[in-house]
Structure 1
Amino acid sequence: MLPPLPGWIAAQPAETLEEAAFRSGAALAHLVLASTPEGVPQALWRDRLALAAAEVCAGLAGRREAASAMRDALHLAKAGDDPGPAGRVSRQWSRAVARPISVTHLANSLEGSGPERIALCLDAAGPTPVDRAAQVIEAVLTDSPRSETAALILADAVLAKSLGWTHVLPLISPALKARDLRLRGDELLLTCHRAVVSGVRQALPLAGSLARAAARLRAVVPKLRAKGAARAVEMFLSQDALAPVALAREMPDSLSDRAARRLCERLVELGALRELTGRDTFRLYGI
């Protein structure tokens, strides 16, 4: 069990910038200490938070897509197919959190954001990491008011970079609303500090839940006979959801489509995996 966020940090929204900055700093410090144990599957944690952030971004663009629909759009589209607006938002977030932060990686992940703009964002200056993230949101949306997804990915990227983290961890983005992105200056900064506290409140219990689920999944590996099962388990520990066909495509010498489906069903029987769609076909699995 990871220690919960102390109640005083999130008891009520901070009313002043000084109080908000103090609380967001305390929340981030607690998150770092609580979420670094080896049992937390970091890549999966980031990808699950990325789905939550993508759902928010889709809403900002006027698309009320549930997480289940966004999973479908991302994971069931064939290679080279257009996954649609919701799928593109999900894809940008999933790609952004998958690899270490760099100008090149983010340029390959984001639609419509050039390396020059990304480099300027990552070099944002300010007294605190949250100040820098708020500056990025304001700068990107001032130049391109409809680039909400890029603005929020870059904001969480500069927050992570400022904290010395190697990967984007969606913290600010899942807690912002459309009206928040119309704010500027100190009002936006205050909202970003509050968003960090809300983001940590969401991220911390998720990390604990995923750590426990990861332990259950690792524990059943000796019971699996399928060739490639250990590699499949590691894939489930790094991604929010997978279709059996994706496992087979990743390991063509170890798993056929049919064997991949049987492996997923076996993991569900063992209580180590969940079927996420509730469908009989086109199923997706995750922990």
Structure 2
Amino acid sequence: MQSTKGEKVFYGFNYLLLTLAGILCLLPLLHLASLSLSGKDAVLSGFVTLWPVEFTISSYTMLFEGTPVVRAFGNSLLITLVGVAASMLFTIFAAYPLSRRDFYGRRTLTLAIVFTMLFTGGLIPTYLVVSSLGLVDSYAALWLPALVSTYNMMIMRSFFENIPEELVEAARIDGSGEWRLLAGIILPLSLPVLATIGLFYGVYYWNSFFNVMIYMNSPEKINLTVLIQQMVKSQSVLQELNTMNSQEAVNITPEGIKAAGIMVMVIPMLVVYPLLQRYFVKGVTIGAIKG
């Protein structure tokens, strides 16, 4: 179908606006990457903008050798992988029965779950419950309270409801039970929402900060987000690293170390998102109903 002149102008304006917005979002990231890869004199003089000056990887070398960033990265990875797997599993188990129109008590349970979005117990009661269960200083304190997000569950429930009932009835006629129906029909048709909710959970667990601060007492259990926050807040990062390797430390600055830490924290999400975006397209193709 041929686009009109007005539509072409409208699309062109949208493309221009979105391109400018994308560039504005990218500039701070490029600046941080440049700081992390620039020499000491260039950083201190303020010459670094969007391109590394006096290119060096000393900041990354000192970051990995002089700080527990590798251990914190492993902790973040463990928290994210287990958290996403558990949350996706229980979110599916909650959303699927509530999406079935023949499920008894569906409306009452839905209203009860939505009620938790409006009223919560609060920080102190939540902490007391977690503490009374003996979960403090355990990753279970991060996983169990956030096991199912009501918002994510409602999104998934709405997607399940939009799957044609004819497909479900055909599967039942063929002898499919609820487990086979869920695994063989519902989930393959729901890849877009599964990828989207998985990304939501992944970002949440990877960026966990406040919960880690209040529940994790052992320094060796903190994740990458908390470690980077401590590095950014601390004014003695360079002095501590100087005792580790004076030869490398002469070419780094606290700003370079902090920028390198932030890049290490951000890069995994930048890598994961394009991979999930591919599954968005694949899920839409699989879920398409062909006449």
The question of a shared fold, defined as TM-score above 0.5 by the shorter chain, is answered with no
TM range (shorter): under 0.3
TM-score after normalising by structure 1? 0.23
TM-score after normalising by structure 2? 0.23
**Higher fraction of helix:** 2
Which protein has the larger Cα radius of gyration, Structure 1 or Structure 2? 2
